[in-house]
């Protein structure tokens, strides 16, 4: 299987996950949704790590980096769920998927050379999101005001940027599978502490449970696809195609949730994700 195919599978899985977040978060406690998805993902990843024989001790530095990645992942997850709960998907998805902007900016602050093409891609993302945001409020739109939605989505993007940056550093020191396992354990533990501290619910209800379990497995499959592409020719193709999960989420919301999309908003989304795709190269 090619890296491009693996990336497409990952994008489909993450797109499915996010569109499920959109409709489940309307009626199911977010705390229960997050806990169930993370628990399922941890079980899936643990089984996979054991089955592949990659369970091994980690250097202390890799452990600390993985734990920090888990903390950032919790921030990203809560931001994502609250952003998609408010909607619309056409506004939230490009903002969250634009996390490579933060990676590029951080690299620039550290003295790395950023090409004109990369800065052009950043401009495309900002312009595309700006078009969608400017047209997202209308008199007939049932979604809440976009200010807080944008804030949650930006928090999610910052969380994912931190998660991937720290996770990649940990993987460079050790192996991806055990370091990611530590990240997942940390994330689930933090969420459990938050739920107990704020006296929220763990149980999502029997009707939402099958969907949430499927979402956790989909997230695990997506991560596996991206990791598996690392040893294939043109491995970067997987990261490019998987980074376009947000565009698939928008299409799914348009198809199944009947979210309205004007021609200008479609153009804005395509421009934004073209920039995302380039930065993922």
Q: Is the pLDDT of residue 16 over 90?
A: yes
Question: Which sign does the torsion angle of CA 265, 247, 238, 105 carry?
Answer: positive
Percent share of the chain, pLDDT over 70: 91
Residue 4, pLDDT score:
73
How far apart are alpha carbons 131 and 119 in whole angstroms?
18
Q: What is the 3-state secondary structure (H, E, C) of 229-263?
A: HHHCCCCHHHHHHHCCHHHHHHHHHHHHCCCCCCH
**pLDDT per position as a tens digit, 102-117:** 777 777 777 777 788 8
Mind listing the pLDDT tens digit for each residue in 247-259? Answer: 888 888 888 888 8
Biggest distance spanned by C-alpha atoms of the chain = 57
pLDDT at 11: 86
Residue with tokens 């997050």: 34
Output the DSSP codes for 23-53. HHTTTS-HHHHHHHHHHHHHHHHHHHHHHTT
pLDDT, mean of residues 217-231: 79
Q: Please state, in angstroms and rounded to a whole number, the distance separating the CA atoms of residues 79 and 156.
A: 4
Q: What is residue 202's predicted lDDT score, i.e. its pLDDT?
A: 95
What pLDDT score was predicted for residue 193?
97
Q: How confident is the model over 227-272, as pLDDT tens digits? A: 766 556 765 566 667 777 888 888 888 888 888 888 888 888 888 8
Quote the tokens at residue 121: 């891609």
Please, what's the b/e burial string for 128-142 (b: 16 or more CB within 10 A of its CB; e: otherwise)?
Answer: bbebbbebbeeeeee
CA distances from 117 to 39, 123, 281 (A): 40, 10, 11
Cβ 249 vs Cβ 13: under 8 Å: no
> Which of 17-21, 28-32, 162-166 bottoms out in mean pLDDT, i.e. has the lowest?
162-166
Alpha-carbon distance of 142 to 115, in angstroms, equals 41
Measured distance CA(17)–CA(204) in Å, rounded: 16
Q: Where are the domains of the chain?
A: 3-279
Structure tokens at 184: 């997942």
- Contact yes or no for 187/203 (Cβ under 8 A): no
User: Quick one: pLDDT at residue 61?
Assistant: 94
Q: Which residues contact 180 (CB under 8 A, 6 or more apart)?
A: 45, 66, 167, 171, 223, 227
Among residues 11, 26, 15, the alpha carbon closest in space to that of 143 is found at 26
What pLDDT sits at residue 19? 93
DSSP class of 88: -
173-208 pLDDT, tens digit each = 888 889 999 999 999 999 999 999 999 999 999 999
Q: How many Å apart are CA 278 and CA 202, to the nearest integer?
A: 39
The tens digit of pLDDT for each residue in 47-85 reads: 999 998 888 899 999 999 999 999 999 999 999 999 999
């Amino acid at each position: 299987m090619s890296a491009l195919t693996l990336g497409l599978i990952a994008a489909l899985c993450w797109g499915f996950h996010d569109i499920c977040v959109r409709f489940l978060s309307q009626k199911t406690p977010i705390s229960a949704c997050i806990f169930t998805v993370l628990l399922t993902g941890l079980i899936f990843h643990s089984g996979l790590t054991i089955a592949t024989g990659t369970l091994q001790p980690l250097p202390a530095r890799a452990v600390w980096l993985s734990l920090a990645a888990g903390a950032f992942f919790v921030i990203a997850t809560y931001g994502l769920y609250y952003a998609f709960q408010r909607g619309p998907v056409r506004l939230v998805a490009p903002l969250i998927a634009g996390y490579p902007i933060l990676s590029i900016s951080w690299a620039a602050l550290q003295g790395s050379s950023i090409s004109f093409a990369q800065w052009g891609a950043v401009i495309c993302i900002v312009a595309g999101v700006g078009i969608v945001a400017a047209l997202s409020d209308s008199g007939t739109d049932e979604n809440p005001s976009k200010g807080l939605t944008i804030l949650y989505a930006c928090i999610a993007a910052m969380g994912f940027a931190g998660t991937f940056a720290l996770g990649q550093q940990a993987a460079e020191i050790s192996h991806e599978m055990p370091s990611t396992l530590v990240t997942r354990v940390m994330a689930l533990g933090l969420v459990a502490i938050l739920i107990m501290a704020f006296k929220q619910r763990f149980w999502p209800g029997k009707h939402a449970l099958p969907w949430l379990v499927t979402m956790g497995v989909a997230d695990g499959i997506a991560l596996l696809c991206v990791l598996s592409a690392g040893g294939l020719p043109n491995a970067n193709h997987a990261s490019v195609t998987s980074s376009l999960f947000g565009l698939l989420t928008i299409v799914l919301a348009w198809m199944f949730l009947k979210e309205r999309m004007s021609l200008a908003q479609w153009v804005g989304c395509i421009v934004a994700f073209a920039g995302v795709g380039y930065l993922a190269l």
